[in-house]
Amino acid sequence: MRHAHALFLAAALMLLTGCGLADVGAAGATSAASRAEEVKQAKQTEARVQQQVDAAYSQDAQQRAAAEAASQ
């Protein structure tokens, strides 16, 4: 029985491969993995940019405080 099941699966895979449907699943999985990686990188980039913006605001605040202290 197990052998017949394996033959059925092999035949089904050959049919799917022949009509190109097997590639659709593989391409979809690859596309999803690629998209997930893009999202991950975008979030990392967003975090870096936010840190740079925060640092710029902090530096600006320090410079304004120093300028106000020097003018008094």
What is the rounded average pLDDT of the residues 6-13? Answer: 67
Q: What are phi and psi of 39, to 5 degrees?
A: -65, -45
- Helix (H) and strand (E) counts in the chain: 2, 0
- The residue type at 10: A
pLDDT tens sequence across 13-69:
665 555 555 455 666 678 888 889 999 999 999 999 999 999 999 999 999 999 999
Question: What pLDDT, on a 0 to 100 scale, did the predictor assign at position 30?
Answer: 80
pLDDT band for 7, please (50, 70, 90 cuts).
low
pLDDT at 24: 56
